[in-house]
Amino acid sequence: MNEQTRKKILQSTPHPKGIRKVDRKRLLAQLSQADPPPDYDRYMRSKSWQIKRQKFLAHYNCQCVLCGSKEHLHVHHLHYKTLGNEGVEDVIVCCRRCHFIEHFKKS
């Protein structure tokens, strides 16, 4: 993706409201360039992940850290280094729309 397309997408993301805990620019810069490991899908379906996921959603006030939406939330891994043992700093909560943008950005 070229710089211009990237800028366009970033500008089209609604400005976050009432979110001060996270620095959006830093988050965007930090998002993983790595592909998920082969057992990622299995882990996503596991009971232990389901429990952790709820914890992460609660930690981020059940809202998208990028746009503040409270609908269609996903827990997105910033990197996969701590997969299975991740903490709140290893993930972000984002809505389906922003999540799609994050993954689209990589290609």
49, 56, 67, 86: which one binds Zn ion (CB under 5 A)? 67
The backbone torsions φ and ψ at residue 35, rounded to the nearest 5 degrees and listed phi first, read -85, 150
Q: Does 31 bind Zn ion (CB under 5 A)?
A: no
Extract the tokens encoding 6: 């990237």
Could you tell me the smallest distance in angstroms from the CB atom of residue 7 to Zn ion? 18
Residue (6 or 103) nearer to Zn ion, CB:
103
Residue (4 or 12) nearer to Zn ion, CB:
12
Extract the tokens encoding 3: 């710089």
66, 91, 92, 101: which one binds Zn ion (CB under 5 A)? 66
In the complex, the residues that contact Zn ion under the rule CB under 5 A are: 64, 66-67, 69, 76, 95, 98
